[in-house]
Amino acid sequence: MMLRLPAARWIVLLAPPALVLVLWWFLSAASTSVFFPPLSKVLDALVRDLMNGVLPAAALFSLGNLFAGLVIATAVGIGFGLLIGETERLRLSLEPLIHFARSIPQVALVPLVVGAFGLGAGPKIATIALAAVWPILLNTIDGVRGVDPSIRRVSRAYRIPALLHFRRVVLPAAMPQIAAGIRVALPIGVTVMVVSELFAANQGLGYYILHSASKFMLPETWAGALLVGLIGYALALLFIVVERRALGWYFRSGAK
């Protein structure tokens, strides 16, 4: 599936992070700062904790929360987005409330939710879903509103049932915009995933970073942050591949 992207595209996607790592290696090689250790020490800590199972266990817990939160956010965002986008009166009445809710810094709600509901995975999943749902919801609404009016007229002329109209007419037409919303929600989910584990957590990548920092284990702290960045970038690349496979018709049409 990965071969679906041209080699030149992979070079463009992979070259910037590779260049950053190379520059980081050489610029930090002579560092004597406790707070900014050489990349070689960071990589040593990263490889060690990957091999001894500490980081894989933390990453598995975090990615499980991320996946669950994104699934919930996608289902809620698309479901309500289709309904709101298709119903003009509902959209006009809910639009101020939606913009008010999305303007609240979602990260600021993390300690409240986690503090109220405890250490388990549930509160963390809820905070990820709450933060990631807004770009999906808004993009779905915009995608539905952008459906060609002539397509709607044909659907009404043939008296296509409402559910079939949503599933076979509105949803496919809005999918490129919906995919863009999910693409925006993905890094938001990764950020909230880590932040949610900085508060009253006992496992996960955020906990690993916080625990390392509290013990003044700076190479391990940087290793955790580096791993989060690599995971986020890998997920973004994976989404690009899946998006191009699922929406091949859209990209073949010449859309950018």
Contacting residues for 219 by C-beta, under 8 A, at least 6 apart = 37, 41, 42, 44, 45
What pLDDT is stored for residue 4 in this prediction? 59
- Gyration radius from the chain CA atoms: 22
Q: Please determine, for residue 41, whether its predicted confidence score (pLDDT) is greater than 80.
A: yes
Buried b (16+ CB within 10 A) or exposed e, 121-156: bebbbbbbbbbbbbbbbbbbbbbbeebeeeeeeebe
Give the separation between CA 15 and CA 2, rounded to whole angstroms. 17
The answer to whether the CB of 203 falls within 8 A of the CB of 57 is: yes
**How far lies 179's CA from each of 33, 158, 239, in Å?**
43, 29, 9
Instruction: Provide the pLDDT for residue 2.
Output: 44
User: Residues 239, 231: contact at Cβ < 8 Å?
Assistant: no
Q: Per-residue pLDDT tens for 87-121?
A: 889 999 999 999 898 888 878 888 888 777 777 78
> 19 or 169: whose pLDDT is higher?
19
With 0-12 / 13-18 / 19 or more C-beta atoms within 10 angstroms meaning exposed / middle / buried, residue 74 is: buried
Which is more confidently placed, 198 or 57?
57
Confidence of residue 68 (pLDDT cuts 50, 70, 90): very high
Which domains occur in the chain, in start order?
54-252 (1.10.3720.10)
Instruction: Please check the confidence at residue 254 and state whether its pLDDT lies above 70.
Output: no
Q: Determine the pLDDT at residue 112.
A: 81
Q: Is residue 71 very low, low, confident or very high in pLDDT (cuts 50, 70, 90)?
A: very high
pLDDT, mean of residues 228-254? 86
Apex CA 192: angle with CA 242 and CA 46, to 5°? 80
Q: Exposed e or buried b for every residue in 196-235, given b needs 16+ CB within 10 A? A: bbbbebebbbbbbbbbbbeeeebbbbbbbbbbbeebbbeb
Averaged pLDDT for residues 10-36: 87
CA distance 44 to 29: 13
H-type alpha helices, 29-120? 39-51, 54-86, 88-103, 106-117
Residues 151-198: tens digit of each pLDDT: 778 877 878 887 887 888 888 889 999 999 999 999 999 999 999 988
Q: Find the length of the chain.
A: 256
pTM (predicted TM-score): 0.88
